[in-house]
Amino acid sequence: MLDKYPFTPITMRHPYSSFVPYLDPNTMYFHYDVIYKNAVETLNQLIAANPQYGSWTLQDLILKDIRQVPAVTAQKMKFYAGSVYNHGLFFEGLDPSRATLPHGNLLKAINANYGNYENFKNLFVDAAKSVMGSGWVWLNSEGGGKLHIATTGNCSSPAIDKLMPVMALDVWEHAYYLKYPVQVDRFARNWFEVVDWGKAEARFNQKK
């Protein structure tokens, strides 16, 4: 995923069928090929129409004030920048071929912060259930081995200038409703079966 304009979606490393039975191919297609790619395309169109922001990174677009365009345009730019960033982390963090359990420094931090992996997973699922409407669930590293679970609404991202997002779960209905109607907790629990813990560990180690 390029961090500057023109933005591109990350490449899916596995066929959608490989996520069965935890995530279904129809949802994966709609989520990646329609929702995510549309967010990338829309953000590129917004930047093309406002080239003064062509050198800004996704982090810039998320964190900085966008003042040289009408407020409605600035709001759209922030929304789609957040969507591209969040979806990039979500899809990058999936790998059914490597889905195991957390390990290494990340597992040590999970145990230190939450007691054990099962407690952590239950709290993460509870956080997913707590999201009203559309949003995201995050595991963030604050550095020094400190972790916290957080939620954000719509396409908002955590404070990525201060934190390192380790894991991101999309709990918009488009991410799960075809397979798990009104069962976001089942979706969240089964998502853990296709998490790429190697990627999560690598992100954690960037700010451990």
Q: What is the pLDDT of residue 2?
A: 55
Transcribe 39-108 into DSSP letters: HHHHHHHHHHHSGGGTT-BHHHHHHS---SS-HHHHHHHHHHHHHHHHHHHHHHTB-TTT-----HHHHH
Q: What sign does the CA torsion over 138, 122, 207, 31 have? A: negative
Q: What is the pLDDT of residue 109?
A: 98
Residue 64 pLDDT greater than 80, yes or no = yes
Could you tell me if 111 and 191 lie in one domain?
yes
**Contact at 8 Å (CB) between 187 and 176?**
yes
Does 31 appear as a known binding residue?
A: yes
Could you tell me if 64 and 154 lie in one domain?
no
C-alpha of 108 from chain center: 23
Q: What sign does the CA torsion over 131, 145, 87, 180 have? A: negative
Does 170 appear as a known binding residue?
A: yes
Three-state DSSP class for 23?
A: coil
**Contact at 8 Å (CB) between 149 and 127?**
yes
Could you tell me if 108 and 86 lie in one domain?
no
Q: Give the CATH number, domain containing residue 40.
A: 1.10.287.990
Q: What is the pLDDT of residue 207?
A: 82
Question: What does the alpha-carbon distance between residue 4 and residue 177 come to, in Å, rounded to a whole number?
Answer: 32
Q: What is the pLDDT of residue 99?
A: 62
The reply to whether 98 falls in a domain is no
Does 148 appear as a known binding residue?
A: no
Does 14 appear as a known binding residue?
A: no
Full domain range(s) for residue 66: 23-92
